[in-house]
Amino acid sequence: MENNITYTIQDIKKETENVFTLTLSYDGNLPLFKAGQFITVFFPETGHVEGKSYSISNIISPNSFTITIKSIGVFSNKLISLKAGDKLSASFPYGYFYTESDSSSLVLISGGIGIAPFKAMIQESLLKTPNRKIILFYSNKTQKDIIFKNEWGQLTEKYPETFKVNHYITQDYKNSNCVIPAQAGIQVLNTGFQIKFGMTTKDGRIPVADIIEQSKNLSDPEFFLCGTIPFVRDYWRGLKEGGVPEISIYTEAFF
């Protein structure tokens, strides 16, 4: 298999102040790929000869998908500076961060841009196995940082019995619109969709106890963690200490 192929940028959408979604297409036949996989993008002129990896955030067709990226440096800034019609050198989709079961419940835990693979996994699961139970625990620094906020509201209204989202805001700035623990609960977005906020721990984390409590009655739950290395490490340990079998925990970490 080739190490890299050429994609065409079809669209670039701004999600938040520093997060963008790129729609890519390939003029040919891609090998069968799954939600939870990623591609490696190559910009050798930036000094990153090995490239950088970005998770697929939505599968559009057998030869088209999106990646969602955060602007944090030279490499990502070059990527989001591309325009529709530009070409991009990247790998075929690959990776093993996905469930092989059609019946297990999914418990997804992420922070910030770690939501990208879960967007694709949730959409694929709700489409193909709409009766599968899915619970998403998602933390961000502020409400403005929530990626795909309106989509989560739409999906929870469309699948109220099977898909639930718990948002956690980890920082409280004065004179901001952040939700602090005392304000945790149900809020209504300006789009009309409801959004649920959970109470963080004193150090601004998603309480592991929340995850254990909400997943205890699920059928054959699988736990997926995606975020920074410390985020994934700490929740992997917390879930194990909470009685979750190691074989049921899947991880994807980034720097």
Could you tell me the pTM of the whole model? 0.89
Gap between the Cα atoms of 57 and 204, Å rounded:
26
β-bridge partners, 148:
none
Question: What pLDDT shows up at residue 10?
Answer: 98
Does pLDDT of 175 surpass 60? no
Domain residue limits, the chain: 5-90, 105-254
Q: Label residue 177 by pLDDT band (50, 70, 90).
A: very low
CA atoms within 13 A on the CB side of 207: 12
Contact 225, 250 (CB under 8 A): yes
Identical fold for domains 5-90 and 105-254, yes or no, is no
Instruction: Give the span between the Cα atoms of 207 and 117, in whole angstroms.
Output: 22
Question: Confidence band (pLDDT; 50, 70, 90) for 234?
Answer: very high
Task: Name the architecture of domain 105-254.
Answer: 3-Layer(aba) Sandwich (3.40)
pLDDT of 185 above 70: no
Helix (H, G, I), strand (E, B) or coil at 80: helix
Mean of the pLDDT values across residues 163-191? Answer: 58
Confidence of residue 182 (pLDDT cuts 50, 70, 90): very low
Average pLDDT, the chain: 88
The b-or-e profile of 223-241 (16+ CB within 10 A means b, else e) is bbbbbeeebbeebbebbee
Task: Give CA–CA dist 118/68, Å, rounded.
Answer: 11
pLDDT in tens, 118-146: 999 999 999 999 999 999 999 999 889 99
* Residue percentage of the chain with pLDDT more than 90: 77
**What confidence tens digit (pLDDT) does each residue in 25-84 have?**
999 999 999 999 999 999 988 888 889 999 999 999 999 999 999 999 999 999 999 999
Say if residue 1's pLDDT is above 80. Answer: no
- Write down the pLDDT at residue 97: 96
- Quick one: fold of 5-90? Elongation Factor Tu (Ef-tu); domain 3 (2.40.30)
Give which of 31, 95, 96 is closest to 63, Cα–Cα.
31
Between CA 147 and CA 58 the distance in angstroms is: 13
